[in-house]
Amino acid sequence: KRMQGCIVTLKPGCDYSKEEFLFSHDRDDFVYVLAGELDIESGEKRYRLEQGDAAYFSLHDMEAMGNPGEAPAQLLWIVSPSGA
Domains, the chain, ranges and CATH?
4-81 (2.60.120.10)
**DSSP helix/strand/coil, 46:** strand
| Per-residue pLDDT reduced to its tens digit, 40-76 | 998 789 999 999 999 998 777 778 899 999 999 999 9
pTM: 0.84
The phi and psi torsions of 69 (rounded to 5 degrees) equal -85, 180
% pLDDT > 90, the chain: 55
The alpha carbons of the chain give a radius of gyration, in whole angstroms, of 12
Residue 42 CA to residue 59 CA, distance in Å, equals: 9
pLDDT at residue 14, rounded to an integer: 94
pLDDT at residue 44, rounded to an integer: 83
